[in-house]
Amino acid sequence: MQPSGILRELLGRLPRDIVIDPGAPSYESLRRVWNDMIDRRPAAIIRPGDVVQVSEAVRLAAATGLPLAVRCGGHSFPGFSTCDGGIVLDLSRMNTVSVDPNSRLAIVGGGALLRDVDKATAKYGLVVPAGVVSHTGAGGLTLGGGMGWTSRRFGLTIDNLVSAQVVTANGDILEVSDSSHPDLFWGLKGGGGNFGIVTRFQFRLHPLGPIAVGVWNYAPNRVTAALEGLSALAKRAPRSQTHSIGLTKSGLRVTAFHSGPDGLGYESLVPFGNLAGPGEGGLEDLDFLTLQSRSDDFVRWGRRYYGKGGFFSALESVSIREMADLSISAPNEDSEFYMIHLGGAVSDVSDDATAYTGRRAQFFWLAQAIWDDARDDEQCISWGRQAGQRLDVLSQTGNYINEQSDVGQAVAERAYGKTKYDRLAALKAEYDPSNLFRLNQNIAPAHRVSEPNTEQAL
């Protein structure tokens, strides 16, 4: 489909080289997103190179009345960063990262990937806490919250956000921080892409210190005992340490991570290798960048995914039994439960201080179906949904908007809770009253009836 007359005329006001229409050779690859379940054909893809072009593109997109999708790394589970027949604003050219080691601050483009950020900061032995897969977009990850190996020690990604440059729905360019538009800054920290396009993030950096990593596998018949052991050890772990699991029908993989400053931490990791008798594996000699890209291939582009996540306030026996039971019925060898240990610095911040909701959680869990053949869609989605629902009832209130395949107002209301949702809806009415930015876990502007993005549901 070629752009219609009005769209063509409006797009003609932008520099030619930043507009990709369906006839362009790069269109096919640029329209793709990470989750192969999502196969949409936008009327045009705009690839701005700076904030002024983003602002112009937002104004033009609003004038067309077409759906507008904003894209950084393209990793949204439900495919929020693309659309059929609308406009995709692809920020990937705005991926520059600059680091000032003296002030320990980084300026990160709104289209940067985690690997762009990690590579630039690691040169100075510094880190901003973020996710665990290097091809994830820093944009979407940050705006939902952002959690990873160093979150127990340094907080969520948003807890290290100092300021942001934002293009609002009417094309204004705002500098946003605790002292400038503080209400909007609060909403950016967990509100997803609802309030505007972040073209530049400024993050506080931390010295990482030496890291220690141990990885152990436990056979299916030892999963329950190993998770009970993990639960007990995790309660006593220092905040310089965190733990994650991958649980499939082939068994349990436990990864224990420690970072300075209190020594190398190997000793405190060793018990994770003997959770139910000795596990297979051991301590690994990895640098941080290698660790960050270790799962890249497993969750690579081009596979099919369905995910449903939630928070446990503690890892209880009943949840352990459910996960062990559900893992046996998984549709294939790759579908998994992922879990990461939170608390620590994440819980130092009050739930009201940011839009992100779920600060008291000790674990984030994700039931994730992973497959390659479209003929398996129904079976895999059905397992993921059932697994998610059975864990959901054991989970605390609040949820992480970034790792949910299901969409609609109920998902957002459940994630934020009624009081915070209402506060977000009032903010949305102020900054995006016509709901231009609606391809996200959408917050309906307070004065409007919700327009659930059901066309985006899997």
Residues that bind ligand FAD (CB under 6 A): 34, 70-77, 80-81, 91, 110, 131-133, 136-137, 139-141, 143-148, 192-193, 197-198, 299, 402-403, 439-440
**In whole angstroms, how close is the CB of 117 to ligand FAD at the nearest point?**
12
Q: Contact at 8 Å (CB) between 26 and 20?
A: yes
The percent of the chain in helix, strand and coil, each rounded to the nearest 5, is: 35, 20, 45
Sheet holding 87-90, edge to edge: 19-20, 44-46, 87-90, 68-71
Instruction: For ligand FAD, give the closer residue by CB, 300 or 329.
Output: 300
**In whole angstroms, how close is the CB of 196 to ligand FAD at the nearest point?**
7
Tokens of 433: 């009253």
Instruction: For ligand FAD, give the closer residue by CB, 233 or 291.
Output: 291
**In whole angstroms, how close is the CB of 319 to ligand FAD at the nearest point?**
20
Return d(Cα 321, Cα 49) in angstroms, integer.
50
Measured distance between the N- and C-terminal CA atoms of the chain, rounded to whole angstroms: 23
Instruction: For ligand FAD, give the closer residue by CB, 120 or 324.
Output: 120
Q: Contact at 8 Å (CB) between 84 and 444?
A: no
Q: What is the DSSP string of 378-405?
A: HHHHHHHHHHHHHHHTTSPS---GGGBS
Tokens of 125: 């032995």
Query: How far is Cα of residue 133 from the mean position of the Cα atoms in its chain?
Result: 10
**In whole angstroms, how close is the CB of 357 to ligand FAD at the nearest point?**
14
**In whole angstroms, how close is the CB of 201 to ligand FAD at the nearest point?**
8
The letter for the amino acid at 138 is: A
Query: How far is Cα of residue 137 from the mean position of the Cα atoms in its chain?
Result: 8
Instruction: For ligand FAD, give the closer residue by CB, 52 or 232.
Output: 52
Query: Which residue(s) pair with 367 in the sheet?
Result: 308, 337
Instruction: For ligand FAD, give the closer residue by CB, 139 or 279.
Output: 139
Instruction: For ligand FAD, give the closer residue by CB, 43 or 439.
Output: 439
Smallest Cα–Cα separation from 230: which of 368, 339, 366?
339
Beta carbons within 8 Å of 327's beta carbon, 6+ residues apart: 220, 223, 247, 248, 249, 336, 337
Return d(Cα 252, Cα 246) in angstroms, integer.
6
Instruction: For ligand FAD, give the closer residue by CB, 276 or 339.
Output: 339
Count of other CB atoms within 10 angstroms of residue 272? 24
**In whole angstroms, how close is the CB of 333 to ligand FAD at the nearest point?**
18
Count of other CB atoms within 10 angstroms of residue 452? 17
**In whole angstroms, how close is the CB of 383 to ligand FAD at the nearest point?**
18
Instruction: For ligand FAD, give the closer residue by CB, 80 or 272.
Output: 80
**In whole angstroms, how close is the CB of 384 to ligand FAD at the nearest point?**
14
**In whole angstroms, how close is the CB of 166 to ligand FAD at the nearest point?**
8
Instruction: For ligand FAD, give the closer residue by CB, 273 or 416.
Output: 416
